[in-house]
Each structure stands twice: as structure tokens, then as C-alpha cells.
Amino acid sequence: MEKTSWKVIGAVLLLVLSIIVTGAVGTAVLKRPFLMAPIRSNSMCPLFERGDVVIIKPVDGSRVKAGEIIVFHPREGGLAGQNWVLHRVTGGNPADGFITRGDANEHTDQSTGTLPVQPGDIAAAAVTLGEHQLRIRLLGYPSLWVEQYNDSPYALPLCLGAVGLLLIITELKDGGKRRRKSGTTPAYVVYPAAGMTICILLAATQIAASSFLTFQYEVSPSSRGVLMGSPVGIMQQGDVIERDVATVGGSGFLPMIVSVTTADTQFTFNKSLFLTNPGSKEKVVATVEAKQAGKYKSMVYVGVFLPTLPPALVHNLARVNYWLTLGAVSLVPALPLVLWPVIDRRLRRQMRRAVRRRVLRVTQKVLP
């Protein structure tokens, strides 16, 4: 095969990989489908088949019309066990809810007990080009395969670690004999880039497992009451109440570090730092003590972290900042790849030569 053909194939593979990574990270961060949605069944045949990926876009649920293909979160009924469903809107309205049906199904989703889809349950809609929906054949199978191992939060880290180890072993095996060909990306760039990709994916996995809760409440000197949308409401000074915050665990074969933090001194937790036990769940309960009168809007971070650092260190970092902790925990497994160009003598020489050449070019442009 000609060199140009290999370049085209490589560019296409890189584009596909970029789409997968972007979609996976976006979905993990937003906790809803982002950029693309894998097809899990043949309910939309012949338009979409199992294993396809449909390109999607965010949509205002109140503006959805009949005929559109939407991604929604089903409530009750036969689809309640599925997280997100991609079906066509066949009727209804924003006030009463929408009626949906898979093109290959004889009956609507609502005839099986699923409640009409409310605008707030709609996450996205399929992107159309003219009269055609944008889809990519077979690209959904990697996502479907990964979903089979969702019970283990270590599936993705282990796969990424294996890829990184393979890269390093390949580099060591070459023993410096291989020479970088002109026009290819140098290894001292590839390794840090691969390491940072692993870091980003690990961070996305932990974000998806964590919870970020907002407690809006009020402390009054002499009265109690209810605040719309608030699980705490209006408390009288001196009151003490308990509220469930989150249930963590239940999956994985190794413990995860859970750190519960908030800047609100009126909050205490039954468990602020613990390790999840494989196969069991732990309930986090907050105790709110009304000490100081005023209105409050407090963030509670239930951070679920990979055990790449000591638990006490993770918790102390989380008290300072959740995102700082996430970055530190995610970077540790990626450090061997990020630092490999500094560790390997041959790559160090290549990097020094490249830096000298770059400095020389800049100097020649700046100085007469």
C-alpha cells in the first residue's frame, strides 16, 4: 500500500478515535449522552441497527416536534431499566408529555406503561443532514462492550494501563535501534500525549462516579418553613436535622476512596472518608445544625477516587479543592508515560536537539 494511503487511513482512524474519546469524556462529565449515542437494540430498524452510533445535539425539550428522534430518560414502564433511550416522537406536547415509539415497534412506549416523556427528560436529538440522520456503522460496538463491564470501575483504568505498558515495552524492546522517520510524530510527543489522554479518561470516570449536590436552605431565629426544591427548608436556630446525601459503592472488585466535603461548617457527615467494599453500598447522611441565621447555598462533594494516593492525603486535598484532588489522583497512573521522554536517554537526546533547533530558529527570526 502506498505511503499516502496509509496516511489517509491513519487520519481517519485518528478522527474516529477523537470522536469516541470526546463523546465518552463528555458523557461522563455531563452524565448524559454527548455528541453521540450508541444503538443498543434494533427497535429503530431499518433506520438504525444495533452497534451504530448516532450523532446527536442538545435540544430544548419544550420545542420538540412530532417526527423528531430524541434521546430521553424513561420513567416507569417497560423501559424504566434503561438509562437513555433513542426513539421517535409520534405525538403529545410539552404540557402533557410526548408519545414515543421505536420505528420497528408495533406499539408506543407509553402503551407498555412508560410515562409520557417530559421536556426535562429529553437530553438530545438526532442530527439530520437534509432528510438523513447522521450515523456511523459499527462504531457503537466498543461502547456496548464497555457497558458490559460497567459493574467494575476498574475496567477502563486497567485497559488504559495495559495500553501505556505496551507502549513502554515496545520502546524498550527497540533498544534505540529504531530511528524516527521524517514526517512522523516524535516519540517524545506521543508518550506525554498518550499519558494525558489516559489522565483525562480516568478523570472522566471518577467524575461520573462522584456526586455534586447543592443544599439551599435558610436558618431563622424564630420560625420554620418549606423552601421550594430544598430538602432542608427553613430551620429555626438550634434545630438539628438529618438528610440522605448519597449511596456509594456496590460495584468493582477493589476499594475506591470516597471523600465527602463541604465548606459549610453547619454540615457534618456520618462518614466523611471511607473505602468502598466490593459488592456493598454505603449510605452518606448529612447532619445539619442550624447555628447562624441567614440564607445558605452549600455545595457538597461526594468524591469517588481511584486509590492511587493514600486515602488521608486524598481527603486532605479534597478539603482544599475537589478538582485539585481529581487532577492529582488521575495524573499518578499517567506519570510513567508523561515522564518517559525524560527517563529514556535516547528520547532525552532527541528532545534536547529539537529544543535547540527551535531556539535557533526563533533566534534567527528575532535577531538580525
Domain of residue 262, CATH code? 2.60.40
- The model carries a pTM of 0.57
Pair (109, 233) in one structural domain: no
pLDDT given for residue 142 in this prediction: 67
- Listed residues 320, 341, 362: the one ending a domain: 320
Pair (217, 139) in one structural domain: no
In a domain, 189, yes or no: no
In a domain, 271, yes or no: yes
In a domain, 366, yes or no: no
Q: CB of 180 within 8 A of CB of 186?
A: yes
User: What would the grid cell of residue 243 be?
Assistant: 438528610
User: What would the grid cell of residue 253 be?
Assistant: 472488585
In a domain, 104, yes or no: yes
Domain of residue 91, CATH code? 2.10.109.10
- Listed residues 320, 344, 361: the one ending a domain: 320
Pair (13, 93) in one structural domain: yes
Using a CB cutoff of 8 Å and minimum separation of 24, what contacts does 193-198 make? 194/163, 194/164, 194/167, 194/337, 195/164, 195/334, 195/335, 195/336, 195/337, 195/338, 195/340, 196/334, 196/338, 197/21, 198/160, 198/161, 198/163, 198/164, 198/333, 198/334, 198/337
- Listed residues 118, 144, 170: the one ending a domain: 144
Domain span at 287: 211-320
In a domain, 329, yes or no: no
Pair (25, 109) in one structural domain: yes
Rounded Cα distance, 25 and 14, in Å: 16
In a domain, 361, yes or no: no
Pair (121, 9) in one structural domain: yes
Question: In total, how many domains does the chain have?
Answer: 2
The amino acid at 345: R
Pair (12, 138) in one structural domain: yes
Pair (25, 119) in one structural domain: yes
Q: CB of 229 within 8 A of CB of 216?
A: yes
Pair (11, 127) in one structural domain: yes
In a domain, 120, yes or no: yes
Digitized pLDDT (tens) for each residue of the chain, 368 residues in all:
555 565 566 566 666 666 666 666 666 656 678 788 888 889 999 999 988 889 898 888 888 999 999 999 887 777 766 778 999 999 999 988 999 999 999 999 988 888 899 998 898 999 988 778 888 887 777 666 655 554 455 555 555 556 556 655 655 555 544 444 444 667 777 788 888 878 887 887 788 788 888 888 999 988 887 776 677 888 999 999 999 888 887 666 678 899 999 999 999 999 999 998 777 788 999 999 999 999 898 899 999 998 999 999 999 999 999 999 999 999 998 888 888 888 888 888 888 888 888 778 777 776 65
In a domain, 178, yes or no: no
Pair (218, 140) in one structural domain: no
Looking only at the bridges linking them, the beta strands covering 132-133 and 128-129 are: antiparallel
pLDDT given for residue 222 in this prediction: 85
Pair (227, 97) in one structural domain: no
